[in-house]
Structure 1
């Protein structure tokens, strides 16, 4: 196992850790949000680090290409589920986010099981991820524009998904 894939596996562990901190009654709400946001940011930093290290050290693997976005999607689903349960976002926003991410996970698994190639994150995916982090911060700390900004990011994430589907289709047609 290479270091980038190990960092990805650490992100899988951060999902239940985030949920524990977010819902813990051991800390006051603002302190919980601070620590929960810290876990999200740490997960984001490991995501950046694993991608950088994989490319720099030529350790990009098909397994890493599949697990990396899966770790991201699981964290996003956990975070937005916690925001829904806590009343910080509405049901429709949660459904839109979770539907898109679950669909992306299922499609990635299907492509992988059929021996199809997947594509690494592109610039739209990276921008969408940064905007999701901004939306999370705004939501967790109850900023007034948070939900409007979230809907903008949801729209961007669907656009990004369409771009990925075209890229995946293109790369697999070339290799057939």
Structure 2
């Protein structure tokens, strides 16, 4: 049996996503898993709503009888990218660098989607356009960033809970800037 272009793209995306998540999970497991799960919470329902309202469709997908959305993108690949986005965010840089970081991650997900929509059967836009993808990707990355900053700066009993690069949780008196500096 010969695999189609779409199947090769799915296999390659799974491979890259699994390796990418395993690398992050070894270095900073608590942070990676928290961001991964939260981003799934964001993308899965929004992806289902976009498909159910007919904005876009995924003709070639992993589980055609279970869901009409792309399991790989909404539930795995995009959350892995969100992990990298949050864990390597340029915390101590200027606003221009931060904006460029947001835009570059958003473009790196939107541009391939444009080509996939044009050249494959992995995704088709009905009442959708690339700029809607750009905006929704940007907003979900922003949402995961807000979650990341909130979750890893919880002030409990007067001390800041921190996650060291080994994944161990420790507490000290300090600010979120100190905590994020320690993780870089």
State whether TM-score is above 0.5. no
Q: Counting helix residues as a fraction of each chain, which structure ranks higher?
A: 1
Q: Counting strand residues as a fraction of each chain, which structure ranks higher?
A: 2
TM-score (norm. length: structure 1): 0.28
TM-score (norm. length: structure 2): 0.27
